[in-house]
Structure 1
Amino acid sequence: MDSVAGDEEQSPVVGVAGESDTERVAAVEAAVADTGATVLREDPATLAEASPTFVVAVGEAAVLDLVRGGVDVPVLPIDAGAGLRSVPAHAHDEAIAAAVAGETTAESRRCFDVSVDGDSAVALFDVMLVTAEPARISEYAVRSGGHLVSKFRADGVVVATPTGSHGYAKAAGGPTLEPGTGTGVAVPISPFAIQSDHWIVDDDDLVLSVERDEGAVLLRIDDRAFCEVGPDVTVSLSAGPTLTVLCTPASAGRW
Structure 2
Amino acid sequence: MSEFHNIGLIGRTESESAVLSLKRLMAFLEQEGFDVVLEKETATAISNHGARISKREKLGELCDLVIVVGGDGSLLGAARALAKFSVPLLGINRGRLGFLTDITPDEIEDKVGEVLSGKYMAESRFLLDMSVTRNGKPVGHGSALNDVVIHPGEFIRMIEFDLFIDGQFVYTQRSDGLIISTPTGSTAYALSGGGPIMHPKLDAIVLVPLNPHTLSSRPIVVEGSSEFKIIIGKHNIAKPHVTCDGHDQVITQPGDVVRIHKKPHRLTLIHPIDHNFYETCRTKLNWQSGA
- In structure 1, C-alpha distance between the alignment counterparts of 2:160 and 2:103, rounded to whole Å: 40
Query: SS of the residue aligned with 1:207?
Result: strand
Higher fraction of helix: 2
Q: 1:216 offset after TM fit, Å?
A: 1.9
The range that moved more, 75-84 or 161-170, is 75-84
**Structure 1 residue 55 and structure 2 residue 66: aligned?**
yes
132, 142, 162: which one pairs with 1:121?
A: 142
**How much has 1:205 moved relative to structure 2?**
1.0
Equivalent in 66, 87, 90 of residue 76 of structure 1: 90
Q: Name the counterpart of 1:38.
A: 35
The TM-score with structure 2 as length reference comes to 0.77
Match of 2:277, SS state, is coil
**Matching residue's letter, 2:238:** G
Deviation at 1:27, TM superposition (A): 2.5
Contact 1:144-1:202 within 8 A present in 2 as well: no
User: What is the CA-CA distance between 1:74 and the residue it aligns to?
Assistant: 0.8
- In 2 relative to 1, CA 116–198 (structure 1 residues): closer, same or farther, beyond 3 Å? same
Q: Give 1:249's aligned residue.
A: 273
Mapped to 1, the partners of 2:29 and 2:276 lie a distance apart of: 20
Q: Tell me the secondary structure at the aligned position of residue 211 of structure 2.
A: strand
| Residue 233 to residue 40, structure 1, CA distance change in 2 (3 Å) | same
Q: Does 1:18 align with 2:15?
A: no
Q: Say which SS state the counterpart of residue 114 (structure 1) adopts.
A: strand
Gap runs ≥5 in structure 2:
40-54, 282-291
Q: Superposed, which structure 2 residues align to 1:196-215 within 5 Å? A: 196-203=217-224, 204-211=226-233, 212-215=235-238
CA deviation after TM superposition for structure 1 residue 194, in Å: 3.5
CA offset at residue 30 of structure 1? 2.5
Opposite residue 47 of structure 1, the aligned amino acid is L
Task: Note the alpha carbon deviations across 1:50-103, whole angstroms, 9 max, x for none.
Answer: 1x2211111223323323323421111122645436223332322210111010
Q: 2:120 aligns with which of 104, 121, 138?
A: 104
Deviation at 1:41, TM superposition (A): 1.2
Instruction: Provide the aligned length of Structure 1 versus Structure 2.
Output: 247
Separation of aligned partners in 2, 1:223 and 1:239: 18
Write out per-residue CA displacement over residues 88-126 of structure 1, whole angstroms, 9 at most, x where no aligned residue: 333232221011101012000000111212233221110
| TM-score, scaled to structure 1 | 0.87
Classify the secondary structure of the residue corresponding to 1:25.
helix
Partner SS for 2:59: helix
Unaligned residue ranges in structure 1 (runs of 5+): none
Q: Does the Cα contact within 8 Å between 1:154 and 1:190 map onto a contact in 2?
A: yes
Whether the aligned pair in 2 keeps the contact of 1:131 and 1:217 (CA below 8 Å) is: yes
Compared CA separation, residues 41 and 92, structure 1 to 2 (3 A):
same
**Alignment correspondent of 1:235:** 258
**Contact 2:80-2:145 at 8 Å conserved across structures:** no
What is the CA–CA distance in structure 1 between the aligned matches of 2:271 and 2:9, rounded to whole Å?
16
Deviation at 1:223, TM superposition (A): 2.2
- Comparing 131-140 and 151-160, the one that deviates more: 131-140
Question: Deviating runs (4+, > 3 A) in structure 1?
Answer: 80-83, 193-196, 249-252
1:85/1:25 Cα in 2 relative to 1: closer, same or farther (>3 Å)? closer
Alignment check: 8 A CA contact 2:132 2:258 kept: yes
Structure of greater relative contact order (alpha carbons < 8 Å, 6+ residues apart): 1
Asked if the contact 1:87–1:251 (Cα under 8 Å) also holds between the matched residues in 2, the reply is: no
The answer as to whether partners of 1:218 and 1:225 remain within 8 angstroms in 2 is no
Structure 1 239/251 Cα, relative in aligned 2: closer, same or farther at 3 Å?
same
| 2:190 equivalent to 1:169 | yes
1-structure distance, mates of 2:254, 2:192: 26
